[in-house]
Amino acid sequence: MTYDYHEPETVAEALDLMARHGEDAHLVAGATAFTLLWRQGLLRPGHVIGLRRIVGLGGITATDKELVIGATATHREIERSADVARHCPALTRTFASVATVRIRNQATLGGNLAHADPAQDPPPMLMALGAEVVAASAAGERTIALDDLFVDVFTTSLRSDEVLTAIRVPALAPGTHATYLKFLPQTADDYATVSVAATMRFTDDGEVADVRVALGACGPTPVRARSVEDALAGAVPDAARIADAAARVDADIAPFDDVRGSAGYKRDMARVWTERALLSLVEGRA
Amino acid sequence: MRADRRLIDALRDDLGCIGTKEGCSIGVCGACSVLVDGKLLSACLMPAVFVSGRAVTTVEGLARGDELSPLQDAFIREGGFQCGICTPGQLIAATALLAERRRPSDDEIREWMMGNLCRCTGYHGITRAIKAAMA
Ligand SMILES: Cc1cc2nc3c(=O)[nH]c(=O)nc-3n(C[C@H](O)[C@H](O)[C@H](O)COP(=O)(O)OP(=O)(O)OC[C@H]3O[C@@H](n4cnc5c(N)ncnc54)[C@H](O)[C@@H]3O)c2cc1C
Ligand code: FES
Ligand code: FES
């Protein structure tokens, strides 16, 4: 059995095809995840709609206010973009840490976010940066904060009649430091065992003015570590305070056992790597 | 062509270009590495319909007639392979690397080539061959 393949050239044409074929239609961008799921028989659409020819879904643009990444931009385009590097070097490093050059040449950011594997790298970094996605449907456009996008393993709040068109990353407040740490105890091209993204800004007195922490591979979705953030807000982030805040990550995560470690091990590693991420931001401020 | 054919199926089964190998079938091992418009990709993850109108380079396309590419020559001279099953993929990946960075550092070579697994050489011969081809 196979499917009919369609390649619309505009978002409007894609939405038309989706309306015509309803639940029997499936979108693909880079098709890396789709090819694997198709071959395993986990997806059986009658119609596949390729997004790669839609010019308006590609590209990366930067203004003073925000960075806008098209849904079909590949990981490698983002990794190599001078605009992205200027906006946030940690974002460049996040994309460079995804799998291998081969995968990064093919897989797209829109596909990554819509696929919603909780161990993926871009989601926690984009959460920590306060990003949002733009979703288009016949009814118009809406934006969804990254914090509200992920619902469960492989499940997002995108509706089946929506195309994710772009990812918007707001400009960081001046003086904001950002990092992404990916813990890879097995091979360098693996998915994270745990990953931690964090941003922090300090007052002139050295107190924490702003902090956002998000983790990947620590449960059914990437998560904000609100308990950690609350423990640091307004504090002078010395080593003891950071150790205390990092330990609170336990309340924010719900990891499960898999080939990359037991739930208990991931809990320990989430604390260790959260502490390392926060320390690196405080040390990097000098 | 059926829409669900992958590039690896089109190459090996439809065109008989069996230089490109299939190992893991899930994008991890690099045996199926090919260049599409010069970009390094996994033929096992790429729908064949995606390459319509684009240039695909496989290991068969590296030599000019009987004249091996500098990388192919260096792999032979430096012991860059033993059983050879990973070699087409290694050669294609290394070709893409040297097209993008004329003189990659040792770290850059390792980082780029990490997606191409080899069960035989221990990788030293491969790295040596890439450096020899740069010289
Ligand atoms: C070997 C391997 C290793 C990997 N390692 C990592 C890793 O270390 N870190 C990491 O973060 N990721 C990793 N990935 C995942 C990879 O980044 C994702 O599979 C990829 O981002 C999916 O992108 P794609 O464009 O190929 O998606 P596709 O396969 O085209 O689509 C994936 C899903 O998203 C939907 N979709 C795609 N685009 C849109 C859109 N614009 N709007 C709405 N829905 C859409 C599709 O319908 C489909 O359900 C790895 C993948 C492979 C194969
Ligand atoms: S067969 Fe394609 S990467 Fe292993
Ligand atoms: S030469 Fe045998 S696997 Fe590489």
- CATH number assigned to the domain comprising residue A199: 3.30.390.50
Over 70: is that where the pLDDT of A11 sits? yes
What are the phi and psi torsion angles at B68 (to 5°)? -70, 155
State whether the beta carbon of A113 lies less than 6 angstroms from ligand 1: no
ipTM exceeding the 0.85 mark: yes
From chain A, the residues in CB contact with B20 under 8 A are none
Over 80: is that where the pLDDT of A29 sits? yes
A162 and A188 inside one domain: no
Q: How far is the CA of A11 from the centre of ligand 1 (A)?
A: 19
Which of A100, A104, A108, A115 to substitute to test the interface with B, most B CBs within 10 Å?
A100
Q: Does A46 touch chain B (CB under 8 A)?
A: no
- Token digits for B91? 């050669």
State whether the beta carbon of B75 lies less than 6 angstroms from ligand 3: no
Q: How far is the CA of B58 from the centre of ligand 1 (A)?
A: 25
Within a domain: A116 = yes
Write down the pTM of the prediction.
0.97
Within a domain: A52 = no
Domain that holds residue A27: 4-44
A104 and A22 inside one domain: no
Q: Which of A123, A151, A170 is the last residue of a domain?
A: A170
CA angle A139, A144, A147 (to 5 degrees): 160
pLDDT of residue A284: 85
State whether the beta carbon of B9 lies less than 6 angstroms from ligand 2: no
Q: How many CB atoms lie within 10 A of CB B19?
A: 17
For the stretch A121-159, pLDDT in tens is 999 999 999 999 999 999 999 999 999 999 999 999 999
Contact B32, B93 (CB under 8 A): no
CB-nearest partner of A36 from B26, B30, B33: B26
For the stretch A76-125, pLDDT in tens is 999 999 999 999 999 999 999 999 999 999 999 999 999 999 999 999 99
Tell me the percentage of chain A whose pLDDT exceeds 90: 99
A70 and A126 inside one domain: yes
Q: Which of A136, A170, A204 is the last residue of a domain?
A: A170
pLDDT classification of A286: cutoffs 50, 70, 90? low
Q: What is the CATH number of domain B7-134?
A: 1.10.150.120
Helical (H) or strand (E) element with A277: helix A263-284
DSSP of B34-54: EEETTEEEETTTSBGGGGTTS
A279 and A207 inside one domain: yes
Q: How far is the CA of B69 from the centre of ligand 1 (A)?
A: 34
**Which amino acid appears at position A24 of this protein?**
D
DSSP of A8-42: -SSHHHHHHHHHHHGGGEEEESS-HHHHHHHHTTS
Within a domain: A51 = no
Q: Give dist(CA A84, CA B99) in Å, integer.
A: 24
Q: Give dist(CA A263, CA A174) in Å, integer.
A: 37
A183 and A272 inside one domain: yes
Q: Does A189 touch chain B (CB under 8 A)?
A: yes
State whether the beta carbon of B82 lies less than 6 angstroms from ligand 3: yes
For the stretch B30-55, pLDDT in tens is 999 999 999 999 999 999 999 999 99
Helical (H) or strand (E) element with A135: strand A132-137
**Which amino acid appears at position A129 of this protein?**
L
Q: How many domains does chain A have?
A: 3
Residue-by-residue pLDDT tens, chain B, 135 positions: 899 999 999 999 999 999 999 999 999 999 999 999 999 999 999 999 999 999 999 999 999 999 999 999 999 999 999 999 999 999 999 999 999 998 999 999 999 999 999 999 999 999 999 999 998
Q: Does A3 touch chain B (CB under 8 A)?
A: yes
pLDDT of residue A282: 95
pLDDT of residue A145: 98
Over 80: is that where the pLDDT of A266 sits? yes
